[in-house]
Amino acid sequence: MLAHVPSALGKADILRLREALAGASWEDGASSGGASKTAKRNSRVPPDSELSRKLGSAVASALLASPAFVAAAIPLRIFPPQFERYEAGDRYDPHVDNAVRGDAVTGARIRVDLAATLLLSAPEEYDGGHLIVEDIFGSREFKPQAGDVVLFSAGSLNMVTPVVRGERLASFIWLQSMIQSDEARDIVCDLDAAIQDLSQRVDVGDADMRKLSTVYHNLIRIWGEA
């Protein structure tokens, strides 16, 4: 699973997030512990802080309102989104995200099927800072627009290359999907995309459209969990 979702958040939403983050208190990103102590060099808003929780809730709500994001992720649970900052010299070396995440505030735990990066900085605001994800087709490199989301399997090796100029702001999100299998999720996502494309050219009451929609929902019944 590897998807680029353009404009998952609008310009007004991005502006509000950036204005709030301008007054945030930042801590060493490596304080998250584990392998990040040596792999990660960046800053983060303390994830249990009131500001992080408030902004994270806004990000989660916006993503769930994005049809393209929901179609690709088929989300069941979203771990509270967090916020990170990369300045000159900061980077995140190749790593694989943890399989399970626990929320220190609520005690909730999720299986991490997908990871997502929501860019809050425009690409011209910084040099370097590319997100690189390894999938079955090789290495893929992303430096998308502010408001775009890159969604990928949490089991994929990923990294952020060193920033050499400017500031890269982003929110990172972990999700548990209704469909655990990447392969099954890709099939359902492709089918949904085909249905949406055909709906622009075929009447919604068309018999073949009804059949495709029936197959779509029945596949989620077979593979999904709720």
For residue 36, the model assigns a pLDDT of 60
The CA distance from 182 to 187, in Å, is: 9
| 126 shares its domain with 188 | no
What span, in angstroms and rounded, lies between the C-alpha atoms of 220 and 226? Answer: 10
Least confident of 9-23, 136-150, 193-207: 193-207
114 and 193 inside one domain: no
Tell me: do 173 and 209 sit in the same domain: no
8 and 116 together in one domain:
yes
Question: What is the structure's pLDDT at 33?
Answer: 60
Residues 98 and 192 reside in one and the same domain: no
Q: Are residues 22 and 117 in the same domain?
A: yes
pLDDT bracket for residue 137 (50, 70, 90): confident
| pLDDT computed for residue 31 by the predictor | 81
Among 22-36, 88-102, 170-184, 199-213, which is the least confidently predicted range? 22-36
- Domain holding 7, by residue range, is 2-177
Residue 64 pLDDT greater than 70, yes or no: yes
Residues 59-80: what's their mean pLDDT? 96
According to the model, what pLDDT value does residue 4 have?
Answer: 96
Q: Examine the domain organization and report whether 54 and 150 are in the same domain.
A: yes
- Helix, strand, or coil here: 142? strand
Rounded to an integer, the average pLDDT of 170-178 is 98
Q: Please determine, for residue 106, whether its predicted confidence score (pLDDT) is greater than 70.
A: yes
Mean pLDDT of 213-221: 96
The CATH number of residue 95's host domain is 2.60.120.620
Q: How confident is the model at residue 34 (pLDDT cuts 50, 70, 90)?
A: low
Per-residue confidence (pLDDT) for residue 99, from 0 to 100:
96
171 and 73, same structural domain?
yes
Distances (CA, A) of 194 to 38, 72, 163, 220: 43, 13, 38, 16
Closest C-alpha among 130, 120, 121 to residue 160: 130
Kindly state whether residues 126 and 89 are assigned to the same domain: yes
* DSSP letters spanning 35-74: THHHHEE-EE--TTSHHHHHHHHHHHHHHHT-HHHHHHH-
As for how many domains the chain has, the answer is 2
> Can you read off the two tokens belonging to residue 179?
């469909």
Q: Which amino acid is at 103?
A: D
Percent of the chain surpassing pLDDT 90: 87
Q: What is the pLDDT of residue 17?
A: 98
Q: What was the pLDDT predicted at 226? A: 84
**Average per-residue pLDDT for the chain:** 94
- pLDDT score of 205: 81
Give the chain's end-to-end CA distance (angstroms, integer). Answer: 20
Q: Are residues 90 and 138 in the same domain?
A: yes
